[in-house]
Amino acid sequence: MIVAMVGAHSVGAGSHPAGYRLTDSATLDAGIRALVISSVGLLATCIVQIAVVWVGQSAALLADALHNLVDVFTSIPLWIAFALSRRLATRRFTYGYARAEDVAGVTIILFIAASAILAGYAALHKWSIGTPTTHLGLGMAAALVGAVGNELVAIYKIRVGRTIGSAALIADGQHSRADALTSVGAFVGILGVFWGAPWADPLMGLLIGAAILYIAWEAGRDVFARIMDAIEPETVSRIERIAGGVGGVHRVDEVRARWIGHHVMIELSIEVDPRLTVAEGHQIAETVRHELFHHIPRLADAVVHVNPAWEGTDPYHALTADHQLESQRLPVSERDTP
């Protein structure tokens, strides 16, 4: 078995897409800058809302302000993750520190869930003691400020996230966009009080808490899928098509891919003519890697195992066949995917 994985080899003309290295300083700088600017904007919005809550006692606006404040704090673990990603791989962390971005995602989910619980508690507390909501016009204005502020932050985060290929930053931007909707909910709750329905404000506070909890669930599914090394099935199919289209490749199997932070790592096996020399087989593998670097966005590295082609029973891996886990024997493309 030949394994081609050294990135220093050159195959043909053409440059690789920027960003296939795990330690891309410009990418990380852009991500950190987006976090800092968006955090300042959210903090300013939150201060305005909390000041209004202090005088107006709106449960819905308090829920929205708490969520915005949590958004500011959730930027901290992501900033730390981006900073850690600058470090080079070591003999202990042989894949580098890019996985810190996924760990930060778990922390963010916990923060979001905590804000949902706190918002729900505040709404129930107001409902039980019946504290009146005052300064309705000011409260509605603050809610609109929250909606506009969150939407501007969402647009910025999503744009930068797409530019640098960071799914975590894109998700954070989508989270901010959902926050804009909760601000609209706070506006509706205060408007209900203005129309003579005092129960509308705490009710909207509860609904906002439930919406935040739903956001945590949706974002959590993506974060934990990354930690479990999930990859988009269409990416696996694309890898198979690209590798299979290289001259000299008889078959592609055992394709595995995973996200590490905002980069993709790939491992696959190809079958070639068993009569080829080691150098010729290695050259085909390097051509496969070269094509993958050009056509798979955010690719950090690809490990290509070269096997001799055969028909019928595999005569080349009998020595290790009984050592491999049963769950790992089938090619990924032949497994059921939920």
The contacts of residue 285 (CB under 8 Å, 6+ apart) are 2, 3, 4, 270, 304, 306
pTM: 0.71
Same fold, 25-227 and 231-334: no
User: What pLDDT does 163 receive?
Assistant: 81
Range 107-115 average pLDDT? 79
| Domain 25-227 -> CATH class | mainly alpha
Across 142-156, 172-186, 249-263, which has the greatest mean pLDDT?
Answer: 249-263
User: What pLDDT does 326 receive?
Assistant: 58
pLDDT digits 0-9 by tens, 71-109: 777 778 888 888 888 888 899 998 888 888 888 888 878
User: What pLDDT does 17 receive?
Assistant: 42
φ and ψ of 228, to 5 deg: -85, 15
User: What pLDDT does 266 receive?
Assistant: 96
Residue with tokens 């900033």: 79
Neighbours of 323 (CB within 10 A): 7
pLDDT digits 0-9 by tens, 251-304: 998 999 999 887 899 999 999 999 999 999 999 999 999 999 999 988 989 999
User: What pLDDT does 316 receive?
Assistant: 66
Range 186-203 average pLDDT? 79
The more confident residue out of 143 and 230 is 230
Topology given in CATH for the domain delimited by 231-334: Alpha-Beta Plaits (3.30.70)
pLDDT higher than 50, residue 213? yes
The mean of the pLDDT values for the chain is 78
User: What pLDDT does 218 receive?
Assistant: 81
Q: Which two tokens stand for residue 208?
A: 């906002």
User: What pLDDT does 206 receive?
Assistant: 83
pLDDT confidence bin for 137, thresholds 50/70/90: confident
User: What pLDDT does 24 receive?
Assistant: 63
pLDDT digits 0-9 by tens, 7-43: 434 344 444 443 334 446 767 777 888 888 888 887 8
Least confident range from 55-59, 194-198, 225-229, 324-328: namely 324-328
pLDDT digits 0-9 by tens, 316-337: 666 776 666 555 555 444 444 4
User: What pLDDT does 261 receive?
Assistant: 82
Domain residue ranges in the chain: 25-227, 231-334
User: What pLDDT does 201 receive?
Assistant: 73
CB-based burial label for 205 (10 Å; 0-12, 13-18, 19+): buried
pLDDT higher than 60, residue 159? yes
